[in-house]
Amino acid sequence: MKIKSITFSPQEPKLKIIKNVFVYISEKHEQIIVTPFYKEPNQGYRYSQEECEVLKIDSSYDLIGEAIKRNIQKFDIKEYDAKRSSKKDGYTAFHVSKEKSMRGFEKNYTLIDVSGLTDRNNTFRIQTRLGFINRLEITSTISAHCDNAELGKLVMKMFNSEIVERK
């Protein structure tokens, strides 16, 4: 008797999108802002959603990782509302921050981008650009199915990276 070989392939997602959130961290203001995004279907650009999640900087790694995963699942496709401000000060993270100017926001908050590595979003790519002379970028990856504490610890480790110029 001959048995046919059956191969299974996973279903293709209807829309292939890479989800992402921005995580802004400030030691000065002792807060973490997690900002989910929308993707504009016609133009393809991303813009921040109306609601951000704000945590204390001394929150547990588990709580930080949970907030990141929860907000990355809020990623959605939505047409851009022309009534929203397109200027930099239209960012919702800036409005929930404790800064009075965009310049102060950019100076006192470190941006960490957490996004899917592929359109399946099974792996997160975490990257940050440190505000030093040569604008060094640090990138790491982690499974999207990792413990919340592992994700939170990796994000905070990247934030706390100390890279100095050597003479």
pLDDT tens digits for range 113-139:
999 999 999 999 999 876 655 567 889
Between 9 and 106, name the one with better pLDDT: 106
| Alpha carbon distance 74, 49 (integer Å) | 9
Burial grade of 68 (CB within 10 A; 0-12, 13-18, 19 or more): buried
What's the CATH architecture for 20-159? 3-Layer(aba) Sandwich (3.40)
Q: Residue 165 in 3-state DSSP?
A: coil
- Domain parsing of the chain, residue ranges: 20-159
The partner residues of 141 in beta bridges, in order of sequence, read 125
| Alpha carbon distance 40, 59 (integer Å) | 33
Note the pLDDT tens digit of each residue in 63-117.
999 999 999 999 998 888 776 655 554 588 999 998 999 999 988 999 999 999 9
Tell me if 26 sits within 8 A of 57, measured CB to CB. yes
Q: What is the mean pLDDT of residues 37-47?
A: 87
Quote the pLDDT of residue 166: 45
Selection from 15, 42, 3 nearest residue 116 by Cα? 15
| Alpha carbon distance 64, 24 (integer Å) | 12
